[in-house]
Structure 1
Amino acid sequence: MMDGELGAFLRSRREALRPADVGLPSGPRRRTPGLRRAELATLAQVSVEYLTRLEQGRDTRPSPEILAALADALLLDDADRDHLHQLATVGHSRHLCPHERTSVARAVRPTVRAVLDGLRDTPAYVVNQLSDVLAWNDAFERLGRPLGLLDGSPPNLLWFTFADERARDHFPQWAELADQQVAELHRLRRGDPVADAFAQRLARTVGAPFTDRWRRRPVAAPRTGVRGLRHPQAGPLRLAYETLELADAAHQRIVVHLPADAASASALDGLLGRRPGQLRAVAG
């Protein structure tokens, strides 16, 4: 549940901020991580009592001015600032409409499926905010099935990354991938109890690798980049990925994979049964 999440998020960022980052001495007797509550209150020009109420979830409706002051004092980046304001908005909306909840959509529009099919030579799939893989094209079937990515019902990329031992073998930068997926789940929670229940099940299943990341409350995840992959049939691959948000589809995204170098393009051609030169590298 999102109850108390605003305070927990503020506390996580306070504890992650080093005193030296804001010009304060660390001191030999500092027993808590990050800034002390009184130090943050001074920097943000709010009372310690009010900051305590915020962090303990007894006040969930700070003014925009106070949010801005706290964000400045905590040196929040753009993603954290946006998330902080979203949490405050959710808290205010819940006060007005306490029964309102978001939902997890698993139906994919026919037009979106047609787009996937139109990307004939390009592995692509549709994923929701829980990382359920809802639809995919034949190219992704050939890429992902040998990895085990499509074994679940429905397949779930986050569950595979943390709970399937094959994930660490297939993804050389596994830790980075895990960080990104947790951040995306956290960013898209939006007060949905289904998302929290999913996170709790995953935490019970895999423990610290997930819970340590979840407690940090990350929210910044890149929507594009290059990812390494050890494929059991195609060998080592470097794949560029693009994440495309779908309009009016409850946080569904299309993720498209393209070869990032000539060797990966050639290997994908072979894996997908295409003639050589069908795919071209798009990134260095």
Structure 2
Amino acid sequence: MGTPLGNFIRAKRDSIQPESLGLPERGRRRSPGLRRLELATGAGISVEYLTRIEQGRDRNPSPTVVNSLAEALGLDPSERNHLRYLAKITGGECAVQIRPVPPSRQVRPSVLRTLRLLEPGVAIVTNRLGDILARTSGFQSVTRGTGLLDVAQPNLNRYLFTDPRARSFFVDWDDVADEQAFDLWQAPSLENLEWLTAELAPIAGPEFTGRLYSRVIPRRGTLRLSHPDGHQLRLVRETLELASDTQQLVVFLPADDQTTEAIAELQHESHDPLRSFS
């Protein structure tokens, strides 16, 4: 059986493209991501030792090994903190009591100013739990009538897994659900993740929990939306990490001329200003 630390390391290894770390291509790969040999070499440990950590057979790697793995994986500051936390609870066999807490909903003023510069484009600020913290009027136009923004504190995961309208709105609902669940599983804050799962699991059921723990690596293709007004939208997503805030600025760009025209029509019918949900 794996451990929180081993599962996290294995998932990150699987999700990393070798070329992003400057590693040369060494023939065809049987699975995505880094090979164990590549990560072990980068961290200065043996492949056998890395295997024991990933499989949960070694629960007490030293701080030096944990830091070396974080460096070899190219983790950002939030992920490094999460890795150290997982090492702590794994070493103590989960003796640390996890206290579920909601994440901060505050968006820095400079981020909100950046979002305004993107008007009338389609963009949001979100955290790793799927809370939509701020959005442009363009995002409001694209989602109008879907129910996503009808609540005071909209959350993409809550909408995706509990609102029947989501299955019509997201053409590739299964792929989007896999994406969201995978991102949740890698959430930097275990306390925040426990908070969301404690709330969401009872009402979302196995559609949510099954995906959360299956660790399916998502495809992340073009996002296809079926708007209630009849427009079919194809969007390319560009995600900018706000590492110090554990938030993301996500920009949705039209993938074709038909989508560009459809968004223009939707915006013409809606005049909502930029809004923060903090």
TM band (smaller chain): 0.5 to 0.7
Q: Deviations over 1:133-192 (max 9, x none)?
A: 01111111111232111122210001111111011111111010000001111112433x
Structure 1 residue aligned with 2:224: 228
Structure 2 residue aligned with 1:120: 119
* Structure 2, unaligned runs of 5 or more: 13-29, 32-45, 270-278
* Structure 1, unaligned runs of 5 or more: 14-20, 23-42, 69-77, 275-284
**Is contact 1:245–1:253 with CA below 8 Å preserved after alignment?**
yes
Q: Give the length in aligned residue pairs.
A: 226
Q: Distance in 1 between matches of 2:110 and 2:6?
A: 41
Structure 2 residue aligned with 1:38: none
Task: Give the drift of 1:217.
Answer: 3.4
Structure 1 residue aligned with 2:258: 263
Identity of aligned residues (%): 30
Q: Distance in 2 between matches of 1:112 and 1:209?
A: 34
Structure 1 residue aligned with 2:104: 105
Task: Give the drift of 1:201.
Answer: 2.4
Task: Give the drift of 1:54.
Answer: 2.7
Task: Give the drift of 1:64.
Answer: 3.8
Q: State yes or no: 1:214 paired with 2:212.
A: yes
Q: State yes or no: 1:183 paired with 2:210.
A: no
Structure 1 residue aligned with 2:41: none
TM-score (norm 1): 0.65
Q: Secondary structure at the match of 1:237?
A: strand
Runs of 4+ deviating beyond 3 Å: 7-13, 43-46, 50-53, 62-65, 83-88, 91-96, 98-103
Q: Secondary structure at the match of 1:233?
A: coil
Rate the CA distance shift 1:236–1:12 in 2: closer, same or farther, 3 A: closer
Rate the CA distance shift 1:165–1:53 in 2: closer, same or farther, 3 A: closer
Q: Distance in 2 between matches of 1:85 and 1:109?
A: 22
**Is contact 1:243–1:255 with CA below 8 Å preserved after alignment?**
yes
Task: Give the drift of 1:53.
Answer: 9.1
Q: Deviations over 1:24-72 (max 9, x none)?
A: xxxxxxxxxxxxxxxxxxx9646x9x779935xx82436849x98xxxx
Task: Give the drift of 1:252.
Answer: 0.7
Q: Secondary structure at the match of 1:238?
A: strand
Rate the CA distance shift 1:247–1:196 in 2: closer, same or farther, 3 A: closer
Q: Distance in 1 between matches of 2:177 and 2:110?
A: 31
Q: Distance in 1 between matches of 2:194 and 2:60?
A: 19
Rate the CA distance shift 1:104–1:175 in 2: closer, same or farther, 3 A: same
TM-score (norm 2): 0.66
One-letter amino acid of the counterpart of residue 231, structure 1: H
Moved more, 171-180 or 228-237: 228-237
**Is contact 1:162–1:206 with CA below 8 Å preserved after alignment?**
yes
Q: Distance in 1 between matches of 2:209 and 2:233?
A: 30
The answer to which structure, 1 or 2, has the higher relative contact order (CA under 8 A, 6+ apart) is: 2
Q: Deviations over 1:105-129 (max 9, x none)?
A: 2011122112222212211111012
Rate the CA distance shift 1:134–1:273 in 2: closer, same or farther, 3 A: same
Q: Secondary structure at the match of 2:115?
A: helix
Write out aligned runs for 1:192-203 (5 A): 193-203=191-201
Structure 1 residue aligned with 2:234: 238
**Is contact 1:170–1:231 with CA below 8 Å preserved after alignment?**
yes
Write out aligned runs for 1:158-177 (5 A): 158-177=157-176
Rate the CA distance shift 1:200–1:12 in 2: closer, same or farther, 3 A: farther
One-letter amino acid of the counterpart of residue 242, structure 2: L
Moved more, 3-12 or 201-210: 3-12
Give the CA RMSD over aligned residues. 4.1
Write out aligned runs for 1:1-284 (5 A): 4-6=3-5, 45=48, 54=56, 59-61=59-61, 64=65, 89-92=84-87, 104-191=103-190, 193-218=191-216, 225-249=221-245, 251-273=246-268
Q: Distance in 2 between matches of 1:79 and 1:180?
A: 21
Rate the CA distance shift 1:234–1:122 in 2: closer, same or farther, 3 A: farther
**Is contact 1:6–1:84 with CA below 8 Å preserved after alignment?**
no
Q: Distance in 2 between matches of 1:268 and 1:134?
A: 22
